[in-house]
Structures are given as structure tokens and as C-alpha cells.
A and B are shown apart, each in its own frame.
Chain A
């Protein structure tokens, strides 16, 4: 038991003894709070009649009434927008070991490298879940407050809301695991960060959008990591914005995310982790 608990404890200590985790948590909170607050106020205003739909772009205004219940959509921002943060933290945790040459003391203390990578995956899964809670504190905390202000039911007594919150935490935890995998796959820290930002902010949204044009590509597109994540969480802007697009079941989405994480970590182990440390 000690054989895995010790390296896990060491991995937690590594994350908690540098500033990165709380900087990312802080930015995540601020970003999601702003977004959730702003959009819930906007939609809440339209929904409650405080803002006339006519004052908005006709396209957006018309769609709003068909969106169904707003709160889950806003709450899901924690993952559907915030997922880039656990990926970054996971990627920094692995690439940092290469960059600062801390693989040497790490492998001296734990010569079984598979255990070290396993321990890192477990630790990042937990820290990713914590980031999920931080994101939810922002999206649910601020969102529910605003909805209350507009007299809209924030659905906090609804079991389905709490299930969504649970699935969001899981999604964020899995994203951190994907980050670890990416970090071993691309050990260069700069390259890893560029890939995370380019893929999550630009490439994948484009791919997901493009994939909705035909049925065949839509069937492939639903397996993109972001799409799988939204499927797991169960509500997102993206899925609503492309109603025709096929969507995975939540549990399928979870498995797809997990598969991405484990595949990347497995290949990364072979490509970089097992290599000579010189």
C-alpha cells in the first residue's frame, strides 16, 4: 500500500508547494464568475421580461425561449469553459519535471517510474476535482444569486442540478488526467501549453462546429474530447447551439474522456517517461 500511497503523497506535496495551483484556481474562479454572472443576468433579464428580446439580435433572442432551463446551462460553464485550467495544471505538473530536471530526485526516491506516473495521475485527478469545485463555486454561486435576483428558480433543490454538479467535478478531474498525459506526450513545457491553448480555444471548437455539417462527421465529432466532456456534464452551450448534432450519453462521454487521458499517459510513458534521464 505504501508503494503507491507514498508517491501519491509526494505528488500532492509537489503541487501544493508551488504557487501555480492557486493562481490557476483564482483565475478560473474569476473567469467563470464573470461569465456566469454576466450571461445569467442577460438571459435572466430576457426570460423575466426585464430585457425585451427585441433589444437583442433577433437570432439570439428567438433561440432563448427554446433553451429550456437556464440554470444548468450556466452552471455547466465550470467545465465547458473552465476545463482548460485542469488540463494546464496537469500538463505543467509533468512538463515541469522535465524542465526543472526534477525527474532525477523523483526517480531516485521512487525508481519504479510507472508508480510515479500512476501517482501523478491520481494526485492530478483529485486536484482537478478541486478545480471543478472552484469552478462550480463560481458558476453555481454567482449564477444562482443572479437568477434569484430575477425571480427565476435557480433549481438548487433539484436533484438533477446536483447530479450535474457531480458530473462536472468528474469531468474536471478527468481533464487534469488528460493534462498529465499530454505532458508526457509532449514534454516540452512551451509546446504543451501552446497545444492546450490552441486546441481548446481554437482548433477543437472549429472542428466541433465543422463536424455538425454532415451526419457522418457529426458521428465522429461527438468523440472529440470537448464534446465528450459536454456529454458527460450533460448541458452546454455547444450542444444547444448545434441541436442537430449527435451527442454521447453522459457515461459514454466520461469513458471517452478517461480513454483520452489513459491513452495519452500510456503513450507518453513509452515516449518520454521511460527514457534516459541525462
Chain B
């Protein structure tokens, strides 16, 4: 059973001309866990992963697998499996020939081709030219490529893009089982909700900088809870809240009051004689914490 290596980024920076895509990023990714690498579009996720894989040269800093840079790995495909977002196929090649090329390059047995195609559910389309593949099929073929060497480390850039609900369910289970076998699994996404059910740890970046890292549960408490309140006579409620000196905004389902305790809002309404139709505490979801982090850009 392949054992995952620790991925370590230290002070990695990438500038493209004037743009700083990744700025002084440092974090580690542990084996045996699924780590979500999150950030909005343009945050620098792909650039960071490409630097890790030796495809993009960092302006400064290093990224290693168990202390070795990708290009120094003795058998890269057997150590690290990577699938990056771009569709990297010659459209005129069949899936099985596409993978066959790289088994030759990496000195892997050709039998792996059929095995990984079976694993990702493409066995029926093995001899079809990739040019005719759908987005989801391409995504699966990219994943098949990453599994060729049965690697201990998986690095996947937005693997859920383009998958159907069944595929999403499958890949979540698959990633968890890979981590349970002791492998290191690093998955990027721009949506927390996409990976929330399968990740153990999260690394969040925005504008090329680290804004949060830790277990998924560390995101739970971040945004102050709010109270949602509404009344059949909304004007009287607004007047009562204003008199009590509470700040609020208008939301879709009522007024959003920036206090944690629904009882406090209920009391104010009662005292002012305002009938309430809605009164509850809004649970701040993980997604909200995530959004607050990447929009504010503040560290916790």
C-alpha cells in the first residue's frame, strides 16, 4: 500500500510580470486526510499546484513531497498523481492510447490503463477518441491519469467540475477512501460546499495569500450569528428596532438584526406591541465563514 508523503509549501511566491499570483504562501498537507484547497476564482490555487508539480517555476520559495521537489522524485507518477483543471488531451487519441503513452514514459505496466479506466467508469469508452468526450468524461480521464502509478499522494485541481451528481457522490467517497488508506489527498475548489462533505482540513487562500488553515470544524464559529425577524406590519417593527437602537438590514425573508439573541429582539417587539411573523436565529453556515474569510481577506 503506497504511503502518502507530507506536502510542504514554504514561502512560495509567484509573480507573472506585474501580477503577484501567489504571495509568500506556507502550509503543510498531511497524509491520511483529505485537504481542501479553497479560494475564489483567481486566488492562485492552480498556480500554487502547478508550482508544486514543477510545471511553473516559483519566483521564490519551495514546495516539496516528503522533502523532495517534484522533479527530484525518482518515480514521479508512482509517488504523486495529479489532475489539473485544463483538458490536456490530443483530441485524436483514444483514452486508452492517451494513458498508454504515459505508462511508457513512466515505465508502468500497460495493464494499468484498463484498470484505471475501469476505476473511473470509462471502461466502455476506452477506445473512443477523446475529442468526442464530454466535460465530465474528460474530468474522469484526467483522474484516471493521476491514478496510473497508484500514487501515495493525490493532487487534484477542481476535480468536481463538470461531474454529474452521481459522479460527485462517487468522487467524494473515493477521496475519503484514498485518505483512509493513508494517502495524502489535496483537492482544490472555489466552492466550499462542493468539498465540505469530504474534506478533513481546509487551506483557504485569497488574492494569493493564506487566510485560514486548519480542520474543517475551525470554520464553524467564525461569523457572528444573526437574528431574522419579520412582522405583518413591517413599518412598526422597523420603528421599534430603531427606537431600541439596533442595527439591521432588509433581507429576503425579513429583517436581519446584528444581535445573537432572538429573545432580545422578541422582547423589544413585545414591549412595542408589534406582532411577529418570523423570529429565528440564522445559523451561519460554513460557506458564510468561507465567504467572509475570502472577501474580508482577514485572518481569523
A contact set with B: CB distance below 8 Å: 2, 6-7, 9-10, 13-14, 17-20, 96, 100-112, 276-278
Contacts and interface: CB of A to CB of B under 8 A. Distances in A.
Interface in B15-54: 46-47, 50, 53-54
Of A14, A103, A110, A112, chain B has the most CB atoms within 10 Å of the CB of A14
Contacts of A2: 107
Given A13-B100, A19-B92, A96-B90, A111 B106 contact: no
A127 to B, nearest CB: 15
A13 B90 CA distance: 13
Contacts of B53: 108
B239 interface: no
Interface stretch (B70-78, B182-190, B193-201, B245-253): B70-78
B86 A6 contact: no
Interface size on B, as a range, is 20 to 34
A109 B97 contact: no
Given A108-B77, A277-B55, A102 B88 contact: yes
B50 A276 contact: yes
Contacts of B56: 276-278
Contacts of A102: 88-90
Contact of A111 (B71, B92, B107): B71
Contacts of A18: 90, 92-93
B55 A13 contact: no
Nearest to B142: A105
B76 A108 contact: yes
B65 to A, nearest CB: 12
Contact of A107 (B55, B94, B97): B55
Nearest to A7: B105
Q: Which 6 A-B pairs have the closest CB atoms?
A: A10-B105, A111-B71, A17-B97, A109-B105, A277-B55, A276-B56
A105 B102 contact: yes
B76 A13 contact: no
Contact of A101 (B71, B76, B88, B104): B88
Nearest to B69: A111
Interface string B100-122: 11101111000000000000000
8 contacts: A10-B104, A17-B93, A17-B101, A18-B90, A19-B92, A101-B87, A277-B50, A278-B55
A278 B50 contact: yes
A109 B77 contact: yes
B107 A276 contact: no
A19 B129 CA distance: 11
A112 B101 contact: no
A147 B11 CA distance: 74
B216 interface: no
Nearest to A13: B101
A13 B104 contact: yes
Contacts of A19: 92
A62 B173 CA distance: 83
B105 A110 contact: yes
A104 B87 CA distance: 10
B84 interface: yes
